[in-house]
């Protein structure tokens, strides 16, 4: 019996057509749900929207277009902010990094891009994307060169804190982006721009990408890039919503660009959610270990936990504990703690203890007898 390739091709063609039609149906339902939600939001927020004069709309567009140009003034701000942020990251100084956040040059083209996408303004979109890409590339290049020139072997906590973004960072970006958009159309709220720039910083994460590239560590560099993209899309989406609610763009025209931006922002939820779950699991594990060492286990009452790290890539996960102890830790004690964690967290763990001996010394002399 010969195999008939024609039937296989026909079956594959039919299956793919049905799958494509099913995907189109799901997509249409999602779009329909989004449009209904947008219409409901428009009706709900209609009393809050104020009429915008044509002159105000033109003035906003001109201001955003001027801010979004790849000019020498913009490049000077990018260079200065990048230098301050990178040196602050290398010196692990939070105060210096905040100084770089206050400059916030990358915030300007993002607001321009948000308004340009809403209004389908190609010149504004083109200028904003060019300025954003040029500034980001310049910042990555400069921070990479500074990392190579300084030769710092190990980065501090300020760098490491920007390699694991979570869903909380997305929430911060959306909130700060909305305030930045409202502050642009309402001069009375212009004083909030500095606060939003500090809350959702764009320059430090992109500089962290360059620093990790200088050491050839792509994994941590991708984590910092994820934080940068989270802030970028969160600010863009929130600015678009702020412009619509402020009356500077019609909801009917803004539905499709808002929906597309929302889809791209929603795609970030998956890696951010995975990081959030991993951090929650790490916090739960650390709390259980501390509870076992300090509260529940009599054997470990005299131990002091100094540091703890977990390698989730091994099977089972490996926990390294650095402790201070007046007495050596025995294998039986380690086995008891492993059993306790397995019962508490419902999965096995392997423990590695690094014990530093502690000697108690007082001012009293020992009795000579």
Show the tokens assigned to 250: 């019609």
% of the chain beyond a pLDDT of 70: 75
**CATH annotation of 277-357:** 3.30.300.20
Q: Which residues contact 280 (CB under 8 A, 6 or more apart)?
A: none
What is the residue extent of each domain of the chain? 32-267, 277-357
Q: What is the pLDDT at residue 142? A: 94
More confident residue, 369 or 189: 189
Other CB atoms within 10 A of residue 289 CB: 23
More confident residue, 350 or 313: 350
pLDDT tops 60 at residue 149 = yes
215 close to 151: Cβ distance less than 8 angstroms: no
Going by C-alpha positions, the residue among 258, 256, 243, 261 that lies closest to residue 57 is: 243
pLDDT confidence tier of residue 127, bands split at 50, 70 and 90: very high
Q: What is the mean pLDDT of residues 334-347?
A: 81
Per-residue confidence (pLDDT) for residue 283, from 0 to 100: 82
Any idea which of 39-43, 166-170, 213-217 has the lowest mean pLDDT?
39-43
> What's the order of all strands across the beta sheet hosting 304-311?
304-311, 318-325, 350-357
CA angle 256, 261, 263 (to 5 degrees): 95
Please, what's the b/e burial string for 229-248 (b: 16 or more CB within 10 A of its CB; e: otherwise)? bbbbbbbbbbbbbbbbbbbb
Q: What pLDDT is attached to residue 151?
A: 81
The Cα 97–Cα 206 span in angstroms is: 13
pLDDT, tens digit (0-9, with 9 covering 90-100), for 197-251: 555 678 889 999 999 999 888 888 899 999 999 999 999 988 888 888 777 777 6
Per-residue pLDDT at 138 exceeds 90 = yes
User: 131 falls in which pLDDT band (50, 70, 90)?
Assistant: very high
**Regarding beta strands 304-311 and 318-325, do their DSSP bridges make them parallel or antiparallel, or are they unpaired?**
antiparallel
Q: Provide the β-strand partners of residue 319.
A: 310, 351
Q: What is the CA radius of gyration of the chain?
A: 28
Query: How does strand 318-325 pair with strand 350-357?
Result: parallel
> How far does Cα 63 stand from its chain's mean position?
29
Percent of the chain scoring above 90 in pLDDT: 17
Please tell me the predicted confidence (pLDDT) of residue 144. Answer: 94
Average pLDDT over residues 257-270: 86
Q: What average pLDDT does the chain have?
A: 79
Look at residue 5 in the predicted model and tell me its pLDDT: 58
Give 234-247 pLDDT, tens digit per residue: 999 888 888 887 77
Kindly list the distances between the CA atom of residue 301 and the CA atoms of 106, 175, 285, 289, 305, in Å, as whole numbers in the listed order. 52, 45, 18, 12, 11
Give Cα 58 distance to the centre of its chain: 34
**Top-confidence residue, 287 or 52:** 287
Q: First vs last Cα of the chain: how many Å apart?
A: 104
By the 8 A CB rule, do 203 and 106 touch? yes
Alpha helices in the chain (DSSP H): 5-45, 54-67, 72-90, 94-103, 107-119, 122-150, 157-160, 167-185, 193-199, 203-214, 218-245, 251-267, 269-291, 331-345
Among 208, 254, 246, smallest CA distance to 227 is for 208
User: pTM score, two decimals?
Assistant: 0.75
Q: Which of 90-94, 160-164, 325-329, 348-352 has the lowest mean pLDDT?
A: 325-329
Hey, what are 269's tokens?
């939820």
pLDDT in tens, 67-118: 888 889 999 999 999 999 999 999 988 888 888 888 878 888 998 999 898 8
Give residue-wise pLDDT tens across range 294-322. 655 555 656 777 788 777 777 888 888 88
109 touches 128 (CB < 8 A): yes
């Amino acid at each position: 019996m010969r195999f008939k390739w024609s039937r296989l091709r026909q079956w594959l063609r039919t299956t793919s057509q049905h799958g494509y039609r099913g995907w189109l149906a799901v997509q249409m339902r999602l779009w329909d749900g989004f449009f209904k939600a947008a219409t409901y939001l428009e009706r709900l927020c209609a009393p809050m929207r104020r009429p915008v004069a044509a002159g105000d709309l033109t003035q906003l567009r001109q201001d955003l277009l001027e801010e979004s140009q790849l000019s020498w003034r913009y490049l000077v701000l990018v260079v200065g902010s990048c230098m301050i942020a990178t040196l602050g990251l290398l010196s692990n100084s939070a105060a210096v990094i905040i100084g770089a956040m206050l400059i916030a040059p990358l915030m300007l083209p993002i607001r321009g891009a948000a308004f340009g996408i809403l209004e389908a303004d190609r010149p504004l979109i083109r200028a904003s994307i060019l300025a954003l890409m040029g500034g980001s590339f310049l910042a990555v290049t400069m921070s990479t060169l500074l990392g190579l020139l300084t030769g710092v072997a190990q980065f501090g906590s300020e760098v490491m804190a920007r390699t694991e973004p979570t869903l909380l960072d997305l929430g911060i970006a959306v909130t700060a982006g909305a305030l930045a958009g409202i502050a642009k159309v309402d001069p009375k709220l212009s004083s909030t721009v500095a606060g939003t720039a500090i809350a959702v910083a764009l320059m430090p994460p992109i500089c962290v990408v360059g620093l990790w590239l200088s050491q050839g560590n792509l994994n941590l560099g991708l984590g910092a890039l994820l934080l940068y993209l989270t802030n970028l899309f969160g600010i863009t989406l929130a600015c678009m919503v702020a412009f619509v609610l402020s009356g500077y763009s019609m909801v009917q025209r803004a539905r499709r660009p808002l929906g597309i931006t929302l889809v791209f922002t929603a795609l970030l939820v998956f890696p951010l959610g995975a990081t959030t779950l991993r951090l929650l699991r790490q916090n739960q594990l650390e709390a259980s270990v501390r509870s076992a060492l300090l509260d529940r286990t009599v054997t470990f009452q005299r131990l002091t936990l100094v540091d703890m790290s977990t390698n989730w890539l091994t099977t089972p996960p490996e926990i390294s504990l650095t402790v201070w102890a007046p007495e050596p830790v025995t294998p039986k004690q380690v086995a008891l703690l492993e059993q306790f964690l397995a019962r508490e967290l419902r999965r096995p763990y392997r423990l590695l203890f690094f014990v530093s001996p502690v000697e108690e010394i007082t001012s009293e002399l020992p009795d000579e007898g």
